[in-house]
Amino acid sequence: EVQLVESGGGLVQPGRSLRLSCAASGFNFYDYAMHWVRQVPGKGPQWVSGINWNGGSIGYADSVKGRFIISRDNAENSLYLQMNSLRSEDTALYYCVKDESTEWELRKGYLYYGMDVWGQGTTVTVSS
Amino acid sequence: QSVLTQPPSASGTPGQRVTISCSGSSSNVGSVSVNWYQHLPGTAPKLLIYSSNQRPSGVPDRFSGSKSGTSASLAISGLQSEDEADYYCASWDDSLNGPVFGGGTKLTVL
């Protein structure tokens, strides 16, 4: 069974840092791109960041660019999100999500399959 | 504000057919396929439809998807109480160069 388990969330003060982790199991982790997606209760999901199968291609939403860093360890079947300079608007439930492709980015001429498996999420609260 | 537009709520009685719409633009739904997710509180969102109209294995054929122009729809026939959940559409946006989502539709089974 494909499983994604997030950890590392919590309460943090504005301006501080937090590192999220995602443990993957049940599939060949190194074959797939991965994403972080966040959601505020009552709102739609928001894509945060994506990384391709080997970490060679990375993308960020404008709202987190320059503050968040996504990475992966294929030997450990793990995905990470280093969140720096946190703001109150970063408060959300953060999901680790598997892509159906090797690349996080839709390439010209390719069909879009998108995200297929989600974790249950870890809550990040940024407040003083 | 979500990039894709969905009605905030929908409802139906058991056995009925309901549809949920997802409106986008030429840079996303108009040129890229759409996925649909079902989200029950306290659980991980589940992929219901991919490539606009394909069902992953294990998803009942009561769920179907379609796309026309810059709009997509999710249809649920033979509505059941366990279908009560939040439903989200998603696609890729060429202008934003990233995945985009709808604001979600809360389905109530009366």
Do B99 and A4 lie within an 8 Å CB cutoff?
Answer: no
Chain B residues with CB inside 8 Å of A105's CB?
Answer: 97
* Both structure tokens of B40: 């029950």
pLDDT in tens, B42-63: 899 999 999 999 999 999 999 9
Cross-chain CB nearest to A45 (options B43, B47, B88): B88
Nearest C-alpha neighbor of B87 from the set B26, B22, B33, B2: B22
Give dist(CA B6, CA B9) in Å, integer.
9
pLDDT band at B100 (very low <50, low <70, confident <90, very high): very high
Say yes or no for a CB contact (<8 Å) between A116 and B50.
Answer: yes
Q: Mark yes or no for CB contact A46/B101 under 8 Å.
A: yes
Determine the pLDDT at residue A1. Answer: 94
Q: What is the mean pLDDT of residues B67-72?
A: 97
Nearest to A116 by CA among B53, B36, B105, B67: B36
A35 has pLDDT over 90? yes
pLDDT of the residue at A107: 86
Q: Is A31 helix (H, G, I), strand (E, B) or coil?
A: helix
Q: Is residue B18's pLDDT more than 90?
A: yes
Asked if A114 and B45 come within 8 Å (Cβ–Cβ), the reply is no
